[in-house]
């Protein structure tokens, strides 16, 4: 990052290789659209290149990139919502090379009707709660990592996660009635 900040654009390639898959999975789990997720990650790295001088050398690169990616995903989600676009369930159209090779049992469960219900409930969450929930349960970040990535206090992350889980439970329970 220091070399990138100093103007060595060649340093972007190793940074992309190291973080592309994780950022793609994050964007995909948030946006639920493979093309949007790819665009989001590309935009993340463009912004990384443009703003490399803003990176604090005393901090880790991964949370900084995660924050940029989440902010891009939120912006894209807002724009899509304003245009009235609907979310689509993940199908086989996403780039299989960029996601984890063996899906976890949780992700397999999302494939069917339960998955569509969870996606609808997740889409109904406020953006901040959805971001915290996705980072915790899809990307399996610690609460401290989430706080760092989103620029929130640890207490705010905990309360947002608690509220998100409670709202998801309420919403999913109401779907069964």
Return the CATH number of the domain spanning residue range 102-177: 1.10.10.10
Residues of the chain with pLDDT under 50: 87-89, 92, 110
Level-2 CATH architecture, domain 1-87+94-99: Orthogonal Bundle (1.10)
Query: CB-based burial of residue 160 (10 Å sphere; 0-12 exposed, 13-18 middle, 19+ buried)?
Result: buried
Task: Name the residue ranges covered by the structural domains of the chain.
Answer: 1-87+94-99, 102-177
Nearest to 28 by CA among 107, 81, 85: 107
| pTM greater than 0.75 (yes/no) | no
pLDDT tens column, 101-130: 566 665 565 456 767 777 788 888 888 898
pLDDT at residue 110, rounded to an integer: 47
**Tokens at residue 59, please?**
């901090």
């Amino acid at each position: 990052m220091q070399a990138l900040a100093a103007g060595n654009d060649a340093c972007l390639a190793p940074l992309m290789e190291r973080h592309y898959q994780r950022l793609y999975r994050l964007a995909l789990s948030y946006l639920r659209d493979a093309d949007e997720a790819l665009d989001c990650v590309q935009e993340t790295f463009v912004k990384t290149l443009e703003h490399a001088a803003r990176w604090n050398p005393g901090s880790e690169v991964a949370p900084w990139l995660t924050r940029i990616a989440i902010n891009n995903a939120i912006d894209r989600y807002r724009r899509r919502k304003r245009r009235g676009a609907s979310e689509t369930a993940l199908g086989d159209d996403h780039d299989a090379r960029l996601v984890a090779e063996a899906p976890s049992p949780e992700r397999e469960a999302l494939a069917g009707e339960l998955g569509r219900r969870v996606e609808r409930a997740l889409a109904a969450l406020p953006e901040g709660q959805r971001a915290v929930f996705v980072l915790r349960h899809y990307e399996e970040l610690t609460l401290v990592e989430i706080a760092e990535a989103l620029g929130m206090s640890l207490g705010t992350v905990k309360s947002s996660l608690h509220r998100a889980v409670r709202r998801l439970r309420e919403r999913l329970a109401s779907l069964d009635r």
